[in-house]
Amino acid sequence: MKSNFTNLILVIILLVWFHSGAWAQEKLPNAMTLHDCMQYAISHSTKMRIEAANRNDEQWQRRQSIMQVFTPNVDAQTYAYNQYGRNLDPETNTYNSVTTFHNGYSVSAGITLFDGFKSINNMRLASTMVKMGRSKEQQTEDQICLATMEAYYNVIYFTELEKVLTEQVGTAKSARDKAVRQEELGQKGHADVLQMESELAQKEYQLIDATNKRRDAMITLKDVIFWPSDQELVIESHVQEPLLSLTPSTDLAETAKSVLPSAEIATLNVKQAGLDLKMAQGSYSPKLSLYGGWSTTYYTYPGREDYKAQSFGDQFKNNAGKYVQLSLTIPIFDQFQRRTNLHQKKNALSRAKAEYDQTMRDIENEVARAINDRDGAFAAFQQVEKLSAYQQEAYQLSTKQFENGLISAIEYQTASQTYLNAMAERVNALLTLRIKDSIVRYYHGEPYISHK
Give the tens place of pLDDT for each residue, 65-122.
999 888 999 999 999 988 887 777 777 777 777 788 889 999 999 999 988 888 899 8
Range of weakest confidence among 9-18, 203-212, 290-299: 9-18
pLDDT tier, 63 (very low <50, low <70, confident <90, very high otherwise):
very high
> 433-447 pLDDT, tens per residue?
989 999 999 999 889
- How confident is the model at residue 21, as a pLDDT? 43
User: Is residue 15's pLDDT more than 70?
Assistant: no
Quick one: pLDDT at residue 180?
82
Tell me the C-alpha to C-alpha distance, in Å, between residue 16 and each of 8, 9, 10, 27, 44.
Answer: 12, 11, 10, 19, 32
313-345 pLDDT, tens digit per residue, is 888 898 899 999 999 999 998 888 999 999 999
Sorted by sequence, the CB contacts under 8 Å of residue 15 that are 6+ apart come out as: none
Round to whole Å and give the CA distance between 35 and 41.
10
Average pLDDT estimate for 172-181: 81
> Residue range 49-63: average pLDDT?
92
Type of residue at 37: C
The mean pLDDT of 379-406, rounded to a whole number, is 85
Which residue, 237, 238, 239, 235, is CA-closest to 28? Answer: 235
**Which amino acid appears at position 75 of this protein?**
D
Q: Which distant-in-sequence residues (6+ apart) come within 8 Å of 41 by Cβ?
A: 144, 145, 147, 148, 224, 225, 226
**CA nearest neighbour of 179 among 413, 419, 421, 392:** 413
Question: Average pLDDT, stretch 260-280?
Answer: 94
Mean per-residue pLDDT, 375-383 = 91
Residue 247: pLDDT band (50, 70, 90) is low
What pLDDT sits at residue 243?
61
Residue that wins the pLDDT comparison between 271 and 83? 271
Average pLDDT rounded to a whole number, residues 181-188? 75
pLDDT greater than 70 at residue 177:
yes
For residue 357, the tally of other CB atoms under 10 A from its CB is 12
Q: What is the pLDDT of residue 14?
A: 42
pLDDT at 20: 44
Of 450 and 76, the one with more pLDDT: 76
Paired residues of 87 in beta bridges = 96
pLDDT for 242 equals 58
Instruction: Name the least confident of 17-26, 424-433, 441-450.
Output: 17-26
d(CA 41, CA 439): 19
Query: What is the b/e burial string over 61-83, where b = at least 16 CB atoms within 10 angstroms of the residue's CB?
Result: bbeebeebeeeeeeeeeeeeeeb
Report the C-alpha dihedral over residues 179, 181, 186, 188, rounded to 10 degrees: 0
pLDDT over 90 for what percent of the chain?
A: 49
Q: If you average pLDDT over residues 124-133, what whole number do you get?
A: 92
Distances (CA, A) of 430 to 149, 164, 425: 14, 16, 8
**pTM, whole model, 2 decimals?**
0.80
d(CA 397, CA 384): 19
Residue 184: CB partners within 8 Å, gap ≥ 6?
Answer: none
- Confidence grade of residue 12 (pLDDT, cut at 50, 70, 90): very low
User: Averaged over 304-311, what is the pLDDT?
Assistant: 74
Structural domains in the chain, sorted by start: 155-285+332-447 (1.20.1600.10)
| Distant-in-sequence contacts of 157-161, Cβ < 8 A, 24+ apart | 157/217, 157/427, 157/428, 157/431, 158/210, 158/213, 158/214, 158/217, 159/214, 159/237, 160/237, 160/239, 160/427, 161/210, 161/214, 161/423, 161/424, 161/427
pLDDT at 306: 67
Distance CA 71, CA 65 (A): 10
Cβ(289)–Cβ(111) under 8 Å? yes
Rounded Cα distance between 425 and 414, Å, is 16
The gap from C-alpha 394 to its chain's centroid, in whole angstroms, comes to: 48
- Taking the C-alpha atoms of residue 360 and residue 151, their distance in angstroms, rounded to an integer, is 29
Whole-number average pLDDT of the chain: 85
User: Distance of CA 136 to CAs 59, 139, 292, 416, 420, Å?
Assistant: 14, 5, 43, 50, 44
Nearest to 207 by CA among 173, 265, 161: 161
For residue 13, what pLDDT is reported?
45
* Residue 262 clears pLDDT 90, i.e. is over it: yes
Confidence of residue 28 (pLDDT cuts 50, 70, 90): very low
CA angle 63, 65, 66 (to 5 degrees): 65
Categorize the per-residue pLDDT at 6 as very low, low, confident or very high, splitting at 50, 70 and 90: low
What local confidence, expressed as pLDDT, does residue 22 receive?
A: 38
* Residue 383 three-state SS: helix
Q: What percent of the chain has pLDDT over 70?
A: 90
